């Protein structure tokens, strides 16, 4: 069963997340580390399939922001659920005008998804062994929010 | 005070339901211990030595009587009949079961309270002056701004998994009563040269293993830009704070390692991008918040009463309590009353269910239905008519809440220590008790005057020992509790860190040591000097010589 949620719906996962030493397949959707994405930019540009840079909080986001207009998907990797750096990355990506998919990978638990959704993450690869379908419910844990975020630029007191 | 609207209520109600489901999943084995940990922490639930501990938020220390009564109810129904006021104006319960916590949170939600973000690596309860709104020395009431910050920080989606916990305090008075400079962000409401209200913004204060006094990041920020300023600081910290070592993860270390100028440069750049967005705080929102905190409807003739002066003259014990435990307010004929939670024989800051209910009744009868908690672990009835003080004093005495020891040596800050806390290395409550027993003569206490003893049972410094006039840090030596002493710390406007006196001393010697320190002070002090002033003038040498004669 799929572990992927896109825009609140279960979806088939077409992506392969490649390690840095893994060969690039002939075709198909792939993600590569931010480093590889920069170093092998020319080769990857010719790839038959979607190529997504995969960042963790230690990477330099500005390199990606500079080429956002060419991207359909950006992957944000949470090495541990307690590592919250990529929440700020998602905020910055949406602020830069990125309208494509921002996908959370790694230690993605349903209890984090409401917050992730608010900062602009719209696709979730739920941690292995978890029930992705049940996790969808968590996206509607709250019906009201106080502060401005990527999902709503207005704080509660400016909402009608 | 602030009243929830339907949005606020819905948010806390939905939180209770979310948490209830999380507890069910945890109990069904669908959530591991490790995964449940941050979830329960962000709902205030710790696992301690003997039982779980639930920390309930008291936003900026303000409570109405209904809420105080509910805190008493929770102590009675789910705990062993008491709670503990923390140094961040919250209340902790030491004995609830994990299964009961969703019900406790539901009870709290019924009186517009919660335990949201009272723990975990997120933005914690915003604290301020317990005398807010009535203090004679305040520029404006800080609470509307605290409430604005509370709403901005509550469930902020980006800042729930910070490198470490994050504390904000706001001060609006000449005398800082909230230990503001020991906070990650310290906000001081001030007017600029044009008379416009804004904030001095400090960052990087904190205690723990590496105590640091906050440094000024911006001299003055307009009110309308304060949320964008805070958000910019948090965003830089979230991305650049250290995550490799929890003891170096607070923003104080980020600022120290990066340097204040470099840190400011990064905040400046981020702030410029977000300053003119939805984060701009409109004047009408500030006005809306201010309307929740109107001045108390006081009786303009309250000071014309003569009974108060007569009662003081007739009753020295009452006069002593008035002098020690009450302060004038900005309203003539009204005083703020400190409800001392430092009676002998009870751990500092503990308050029972009956006492809480009594305090709720006193608030209704004498103080416009409001009560406060203080970072010194006492409570306050903020605005009491002088003609009512005598009656209130008698009722407080019946509840053992009128110990006239506020600001004295007996008004200690003390963490729960080894008796309750899983982190502690040493006992703190028994040491407080031993010191209290030694100094049980009130006249002697008053002669000693203002003296802050602050004690922590481990270097996490929950008892604020770094900033005690006398700081006491418990350490473990081969299974025994020993104590390191520091002198000369302060958490107020003149914030400073204490200087280490010498090697650690044994638990049974602690009362002697404190007594020796006091004797040196009484010998050395000059006219008008408090203990801390004498220490600052003489240095620690004369104190050291008395406590460690063999080393001299």
SS3 per residue for B252-301: HHHHHHHCHHHHHHHHHHHHHHHCCCCCCCCHHHHHHHHCCCCCCCCCCC
A149 and B158 in contact by Cβ < 8 A? yes
**Is B521 inside a domain boundary?**
yes
Of the candidates B514, B510, B539, B511, the one whose C-alpha atom is nearest the C-alpha of residue B524 is B539
Neighbouring C-beta atoms of residue A55, cutoff 10 Å:
25
Q: Check CB contact under 8 Å for B160 and A84.
A: yes
* B259 and B378 housed in the same domain: no
* A25 in contact with B, Cβ within 8 Å: no
**Which residues neighbour B272 within 8 Å (Cβ) at sequence distance 6 or greater?**
none
**If you write DSSP's letter for every residue of A15-47 in order, what string do you get?**
EEE--TTSPPPSBSEEEEEHHHHHHTHHHHHT-
Buried b (16+ CB within 10 A) or exposed e, B405-426: bbbbbbbbbbbbbbbbbebbbb
Tell me the HSE value of B421 on the side-chain side, using a 13 A CA sphere: 24
In whole angstroms, what is the distance from residue B77 CA to residue B55 CA?
16
CA distance B31 to chain A (A): 10
Place of tokens 């300053």: B275
Q: Are B82 and B178 members of one domain? A: no
Give the span between the Cα atoms of B241 and B243, in whole angstroms.
6
Asked if residue B98 and residue B174 are part of one domain, the reply reads: no
- Helix B316-325 vs helix B389-398: crossing angle, to nearest 10: 90
Instruction: Give chain A positions within 8 Å (CB) of B114.
Output: none
Residue-range definition of the domain harbouring residue B430: 413-551
B24 touches chain A (CB under 8 A): no
Q: Going residue by residue through chain B (552 aa), what tens digit of pLDDT does each one get?
A: 999 999 999 999 999 999 999 999 999 998 888 888 888 888 889 877 667 899 999 999 999 999 999 999 999 999 999 999 999 999 999 889 988 999 999 999 999 999 999 999 999 999 999 999 999 999 999 999 999 999 999 999 999 999 999 999 999 999 999 999 999 999 999 999 999 999 999 999 999 889 999 999 999 999 999 999 999 999 999 999 999 999 999 999 999 999 999 999 999 999 999 999 999 999 999 999 999 999 999 999 999 999 999 999 999 999 999 999 999 999 999 999 999 999 988 889 999 999 999 999 999 999 999 999 999 999 999 999 999 999 999 999 999 999 999 999 999 999 888 888 888 899 999 999 999 999 989 899 999 999 999 999 999 898 999 999 999 999 999 999 999 999 999 999 999 999 999 999 999 999 999 999 999 999 999 999 999 999 999 999 999 999 998 875
Q: How many domains does chain B have?
A: 4
Residues B56 and B111 sit within 8 Å (Cβ to Cβ): no
For residue A81, the chain B residues in CB contact (below 8 A) are 35, 38, 161
Say whether both B388 and B484 belong to one domain: no
Residue with tokens 């410029």: B272
Whole-prediction pTM: 0.95
Distances (CA, A) of B343 to B335, B340, B346, B470: 22, 7, 6, 20
According to DSSP, the residues that pair with A125 across neighbouring strands are A4
Is B403 inside a domain boundary? no
| Any A CB within 8 A of B167 CB | no
Instruction: Extract the tokens encoding B376.
Output: 């010194």
Fold classification of A4-158 is TIM Barrel (3.20.20)
What is the ipTM for the molecules in this complex?
0.97
Residue of B nearest to A82 (CA): B161
Whether B105 and B215 map to the same domain: the answer is no
Distances (CA, A) of B311 to A36, A60, B304, B387: 82, 71, 15, 9
| B140 lies in the same domain as B248 | yes
Q: How far apart are CA B35 and CA B14, in angstroms?
A: 20
- Chain A positions touching B278 (Cβ under 8 A) are 148, 153-155, 158
Six token digits for residue A149: 């975020």
Domain boundary residue, one of B75, B109, B143: B109
**What are the residue boundaries of the structural domains of chain A, listed by start?**
4-158
B86 close to B52: Cβ distance less than 8 angstroms: no
């Amino acid at each position: 069963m799929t572990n992927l949620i896109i825009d609140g719906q279960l979806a088939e996962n077409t992506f392969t997340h490649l390690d840095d030493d893994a060969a690039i397949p002939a075709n198909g959707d792939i993600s590569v580390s931010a480093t590889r994405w920069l170093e092998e930019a020319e080769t990857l540009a010719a790839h038959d399939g979607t190529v997504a840079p995969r960042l963790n909080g230690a990477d330099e986001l500005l390199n990606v922001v500079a080429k956002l207009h060419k991207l359909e998907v950006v992957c944000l990797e949470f090495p541990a659920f307690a590592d919250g750096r990529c929440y700020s990355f998602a905020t910055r990506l949406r602020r830069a005008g990125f309208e494509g998919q921002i996908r959370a990978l790694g230690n993605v638990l349903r209890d984090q998804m409401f917050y992730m959704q608010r900062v602009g993450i719209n696709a979730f690869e739920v941690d292995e062994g978890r029930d992705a379908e049940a996790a969808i419910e968590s996206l509607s844990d709250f019906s009201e929010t106080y502060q401005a975020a990527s999902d709503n630029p207005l704080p509660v007191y400016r909402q009608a | 005070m602030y009243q929830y609207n339907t949005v606020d209520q819905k948010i806390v109600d939905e939180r209770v339901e979310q948490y209830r489901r999380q507890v069910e999943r945890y109990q069904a084995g669908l959530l591991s211990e490790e995964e449940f940990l941050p979830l329960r922490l962000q709902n205030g639930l710790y696992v301690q030595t003997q039982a779980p501990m639930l920390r309930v938020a008291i936003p900026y220390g303000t409570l109405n009587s209904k809420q105080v009564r509910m805190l008493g109810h929770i102590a009675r129904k789910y705990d062993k009949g008491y709670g503990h006021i923390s140094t961040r104006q919250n209340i902790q319960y030491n004995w609830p079961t994990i299964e009961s916590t969703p019900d406790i949170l539901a009870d709290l939600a019924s009186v517009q309270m919660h335990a949201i973000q009272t723990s975990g690596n997120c933005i914690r309860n915003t604290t301020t002056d317990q005398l807010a709104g009535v203090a004679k020395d305040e520029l404006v009431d800080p609470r509307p701004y605290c409430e604005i910050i509370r709403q901005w920080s509550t469930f902020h989606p980006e800042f729930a998994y910070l490198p470490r916990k994050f504390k904000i305090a706001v001060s609006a008075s000449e005398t800082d009563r909230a230990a503001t400079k020991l906070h990650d962000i310290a906000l001081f409401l001030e007017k600029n040269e044009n008379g416009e209200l804004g904030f001095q913004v400090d960052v990087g204060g904190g205690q723990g293993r590496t105590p640091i006094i906050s440094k000024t990041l911006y001299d003055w920020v307009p009110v309308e830009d304060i949320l964008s300023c805070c958000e910019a600081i948090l965003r830089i910290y979230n991305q650049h704070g250290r995550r490799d070592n929890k003891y170096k993860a607070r923003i104080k270390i980020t600022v120290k390692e990066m340097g204040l100028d470099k840190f400011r440069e990064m905040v400046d750049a981020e702030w410029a991008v977000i300053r003119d967005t939805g984060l701009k705080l409109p004047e009408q929102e500030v006005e809306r918040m201010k309307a929740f905190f109107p001045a108390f409807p006081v009786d303009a003739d309250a000071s014309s009463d003569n009974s108060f002066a007569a009662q003081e003259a007739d009753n020295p014990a009452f006069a002593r309590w008035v002098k020690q435990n009450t302060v004038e307010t900005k309203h003539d004929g009204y005083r703020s009353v400190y409800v001392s939670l430092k009676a002998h024989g009870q751990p500092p800051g503990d308050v029972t269910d009956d006492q809480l209910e009594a305090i709720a009744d006193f608030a209704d009868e004498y103080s416009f239905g409001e009560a406060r908690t203080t970072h010194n672990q006492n409570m306050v009835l903020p605005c009491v008519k002088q003609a009512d003080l005598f009656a209130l004093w008698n009722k407080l005495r019946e509840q053992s809440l009128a110990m006239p020891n506020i600001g004295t040596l007996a008004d200690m800050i003390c963490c729960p220590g080894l008796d309750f806390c899983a982190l502690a290395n040493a006992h703190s409550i028994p040491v407080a008790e031993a010191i209290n027993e030694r100094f049980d003569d009130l006249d002697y206490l008053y002669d000693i005057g203002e003296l802050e003893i602050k004690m922590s049972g481990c270097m996490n410094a929950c008892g604020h020992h770094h900033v005690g006039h006398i700081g006491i840090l418990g350490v473990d030596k081969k299974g025994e509790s020993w104590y390191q002493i520091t002198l000369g710390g302060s958490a107020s406007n003149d914030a400073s860190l204490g200087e280490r006196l010498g090697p650690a001393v044994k638990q049974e010697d602690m009362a002697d040591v404190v007594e020796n320190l006091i004797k040196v002070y009484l010998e050395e002090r000059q006219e008008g000097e408090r203990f801390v002033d004498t220490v600052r003038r003489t240095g620690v040498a004369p104190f050291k010589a008395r406590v460690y004669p063999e080393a001299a």
